[in-house]
């Protein structure tokens, strides 16, 4: 997938950083040793597909926050407002989880806002990931009432479809057990919300 190829160069140096660890230390307590062994096993289990997915899904999620945080002052439909609030809460937490995952694996932690701003300068990548363009975000921000609801749902459906493609890719090509479970849960949520948003648009 193109987003994984684009992320690869950005991650190569960060992946190498995890190889340098000290070994000349006193033997740790058993509980600490168990924790270190668990962490080491998790690091071995992760691959480049996992790392690239996380680095790109973080800014992808950040756009969902940007869009959803417009809803409280613009949405007309209470169901749309509730959905936007749920997406905001869920994806904000998932950003934190993914950044934590990067820390566990000694990878550079992605700054969500900075990575998002860089993506906005890459129209091809935005299209690949189902993300809204800067112009579409401006139009959404300038709208209100029913027009906002329709625009928000339309953009968020495509945004979720992009996430579904990314999630299926990491499920197929990743190897980290924790990330596989997270991705499976995210995929279920995103597909459910797509169906909900399509139903709202059809009403």
CATH number at residue 110: 1.20.1260.10
Q: Provide the domain limits for residue 108.
A: 45-202
Domain assignment present for 194: yes
Q: What is the pLDDT of residue 34?
A: 47
Domain assignment present for 16: no
pLDDT tens-place string over residues 106-134: 999 999 999 999 999 999 999 999 999 99
Query: Is 90 exceeded by the pLDDT of residue 9?
Result: no
pLDDT tens-place string over residues 74-90: 999 999 999 999 999 99
- Residues 87 and 156: beta-carbon distance below 8 Å: yes
What whole-number distance in Å separates Cα of residue 68 and Cα of residue 41? 37
Domain assignment present for 10: no
Domain assignment present for 129: yes
User: Measuring CA to CA, how many Å separate 70 from each of 54, 63, 65, 135, 138?
Assistant: 25, 11, 9, 15, 11
């Amino acid at each position: 997938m193109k987003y994984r190829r684009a992320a690869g160069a950005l991650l190569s140096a960060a992946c190498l950083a995890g190889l340098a660890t000290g070994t000349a230390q006193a033997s740790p307590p058993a509980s600490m040793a168990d924790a270190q062994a668990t962490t080491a096993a998790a690091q071995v289990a992760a691959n480049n597909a996992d790392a690239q997915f996380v680095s790109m899904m973080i800014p992808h999620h950040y756009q969902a926050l940007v869009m959803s945080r417009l809803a409280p002052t613009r949405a007309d439909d209470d169901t749309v407002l509730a959905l936007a609030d749920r997406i905001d809460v869920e994806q904000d937490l998932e950003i934190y989880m993914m950044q934590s995952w990067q820390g566990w694996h000694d990878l550079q932690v992605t700054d969500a806002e900075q990575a998002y701003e860089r993506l906005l300068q890459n129209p091809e990548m935005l299209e690949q990931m189902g993300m809204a363009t800067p112009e579409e975000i401006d139009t959404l921000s300038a709208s209100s009432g029913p027009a906002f609801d329709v625009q928000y749902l339309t953009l968020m459906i495509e945004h979720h479809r992009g996430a579904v493609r990314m999630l299926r890719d990491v499920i197929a090509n990743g190897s980290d057990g924790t990330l596989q479970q997270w991705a499976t849960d995210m995929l279920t949520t995103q597909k459910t919300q797509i169906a909900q948003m399509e139903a709202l648009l059809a009403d």
